[in-house]
Structure 1
């Protein structure tokens, strides 16, 4: 059986998206969510696999910019909406779409490809490494308190309508100022500001409509938190939950003020959050971190589409001069030896015939690229081989990041 890969035509979007929904269980999304993804779809960057007149595979690549260590905003293909019909699995459909997609991303001059995985086991064979993690927490606010920094009381807090244009614009301005400060964050292009305030009633599952709290200083919005309030009661009384969607702030006082109010909302005794940076500062404000029930899971998977260009776009914590022997069977243009020289000011990465210092696959480079996974830990797992004594520690320190990389939302 053969399939035909073709660029998604606007007239085919409804059928294409319907097949995606079926592959992910068959439940139809809300009209609001479906409309948003329809508007955000870049048709010339999305493909479908067709068996005759039937769509049997879907894949897309948003045009993103992702922050890398040093603060640069680097072009990346945001791989998304990947599915294969159950009737056509194990027939090479996924591999053919991944092949076409990475060829396209390379032709567009984007040195990175990124994705979030419904099943992490799938994408390693295509060269993606897990580059960021997300922290989840379930905080018992009846037993945990906060110790806040000086100036917290000077921050004004207001509850506002999250979807109002002025509110959304003010929150987006805060987010935009935060993007360059943490690797892994995405610069939101026009239209994407709608995603954080998407709130279909059918998805609330007993929670309130989306709430928005803004922090202000001298009339300027310096932080915000968006959340749901889910009320519950038992024989002892109220035991509601605050479900935190996102929170950003420009300084420690505004950050602490937002968290403190969330802790103090009447009739609640729990705050849950499912996507925070692993080094999120609330862990240092709470009086009992054990009662925050913290866990982590994989988040952003990253692939170097162009090894040389990708390694040149970021900076390095310490001076580094290392030759990598890179294995990349799926994108053979990356295979071979690359000399990386760089420091905190910039870097160059070029082909070389010099002896290799470290041997690894492109998957390990992707995992380490944003500074959240150490090359030393990959070496301890046998995933990086040290060919020159001392090279692994030198490179691992250089690749590290002061702050943990983090993907703030899916796509």
Structure 2
């Protein structure tokens, strides 16, 4: 098999998207979603694979700016639209595209790459580690109450369409971006992503609503949600399907959840992607009735170990020699001395003896601070050579709040 990898021409976008949908199966995107993906596609970052006249593989990237531990933004490529046609699987095509992508990221001096995975098991062999978690749950609002801190009586709510509230909500989101690792600053074209609401994708729910929470006329938070139309012989049994809820202060955040729990005819709030440390876990009266769980969120790959580790801040002083394994990007392999604290860091090559040994996948998992190196050591994935190095380094890497990616790409 002779496969040619080349960039995407503008007149090939429709073919590329058709091939992507065929690889993933299902009914395909609604026209609104298709238009969004067309708008944000970066042609110079989109790779296609051809077997003669047939397009048989795709892999793209979006140019994002992601918040790092310490609050600094970093330009990162968000890997996307990765597919191989059913006729060409298990032939090394995906490996070839991942190889080309990572080489290009390195040439662009982008030290970190991120993605969301259709199947988490795929990308570990290319050095991606799970770096964030998604909290999901279904809260029984007939049996769970929500705390109402002092000051909630000052909050006034307004319901508007999702489109009408978009600009004001985006301003709130922009203020939150520097405060949590993993958040992505909205790039042009991405501001409409949170409010896409094609009727074909509602699955029995009504249209998306936008709830604005204001204090003295100032917007302090918002929630976007839809309500299902479920009834049974006992009466209404509708569900609030929560898409987003964000606030600039704890009082507003609590008030938003309390409002959502009190919507007439509903008995549940269902959500699929909140931060692992979401405060709602401390607002509810009975956490057992919330049916909480976790799944993987954003996967992280260090393209340049030295530059990546030097770009973030650390929760505690750290001075450690890391011995890094990286078979797929061998320029990362070897020993690195990381020295840093809350003000910044330096990470350089060294000939000093290793104090911790791990693969680049584990470094990616720990990079945003959501997964502890000590826990990975318990699984045999991180090995300590200097007593005390593991505890010191694990504490330095961890962050508060935990990292989170609010939407896929």
The C-alpha deviation readout for 1:39-69, integer Å capped at 9, x for no partner, is 0000100101011111100111100111111
The C-alpha deviation readout for 1:238-271, integer Å capped at 9, x for no partner, is 0000000011100011111111110000000000
Correspondence 1:2-17 to 2 at 5 A: 2-17=2-17
2:281 corresponds to which residue? 283
Unaligned runs of 5+ in 1: none
Unaligned runs of 5+ in 2: none
Instruction: Find the aligned partners of 1:356 and 1:149 in 2 and give their Cα distance.
Output: 50
Instruction: Find the aligned partners of 1:307 and 1:259 in 2 and give their Cα distance.
Output: 41
Q: 2:230 aligns with which of 229, 232, 253?
A: 232
2:18 partner SS: helix
1:373 corresponds to which residue? 371
Instruction: Find the aligned partners of 2:154 and 2:388 in 1 and give their Cα distance.
Output: 50
Correspondence 1:264-303 to 2 at 5 A: 264-303=262-301
1:82 corresponds to which residue? 82
Instruction: Find the aligned partners of 2:258 and 2:28 in 1 and give their Cα distance.
Output: 38
Q: 2:258 aligns with which of 257, 260, 269?
A: 260
Q: How many residues align?
A: 409
Correspondence 1:3-402 to 2 at 5 A: 3-164=3-164, 167-402=165-400
**What's the TM-score, normalizing by structure 1?**
0.98
Contact 1:231–1:267, Cα closer than 8 Å, also in 2: no
Instruction: Find the aligned partners of 1:28 and 1:78 in 2 and give their Cα distance.
Output: 21
The C-alpha deviation readout for 1:375-406, integer Å capped at 9, x for no partner, is 00011111011111110111000001111111
Contact 1:231–1:268, Cα closer than 8 Å, also in 2: no
Q: Deviation of residue 27 (structure 1)?
A: 2.0
The C-alpha deviation readout for 1:286-323, integer Å capped at 9, x for no partner, is 10000000000111100001111110111111110000
2:66 partner SS: strand
Change (3 A) 1:341 1:286: same
Instruction: Find the aligned partners of 2:223 and 2:26 in 1 and give their Cα distance.
Output: 32
Q: Deviation of residue 122 (structure 1)?
A: 0.4
The C-alpha deviation readout for 1:133-179, integer Å capped at 9, x for no partner, is 10001000001001111111111110011112xx2111001001111
Instruction: Find the aligned partners of 1:237 and 1:176 in 2 and give their Cα distance.
Output: 41
The C-alpha deviation readout for 1:343-393, integer Å capped at 9, x for no partner, is 011100001111111111100000001111100001111101111111011
Instruction: Find the aligned partners of 1:183 and 1:31 in 2 and give their Cα distance.
Output: 33
* More moved, 269-278 vs 146-155: 146-155
Instruction: Find the aligned partners of 1:75 and 1:337 in 2 and give their Cα distance.
Output: 25
Instruction: Find the aligned partners of 1:93 and 1:397 in 2 and give their Cα distance.
Output: 39
Instruction: Find the aligned partners of 1:46 and 1:220 in 2 and give their Cα distance.
Output: 41
Instruction: Find the aligned partners of 2:264 and 2:385 in 1 and give their Cα distance.
Output: 60
**What's the TM-score, normalizing by structure 2?**
0.99
Instruction: Find the aligned partners of 1:184 and 1:48 in 2 and give their Cα distance.
Output: 28
2:120 partner SS: coil
Instruction: Find the aligned partners of 1:73 and 1:4 in 2 and give their Cα distance.
Output: 35
Structure 1 residue ranges (4+ consecutive) displaced by more than 6 angstroms after TM superposition: none
Q: Deviation of residue 26 (structure 1)?
A: 4.6
Instruction: Find the aligned partners of 1:350 and 1:57 in 2 and give their Cα distance.
Output: 37
Instruction: Find the aligned partners of 2:187 and 2:262 in 1 and give their Cα distance.
Output: 35
Instruction: Find the aligned partners of 1:110 and 1:177 in 2 and give their Cα distance.
Output: 25
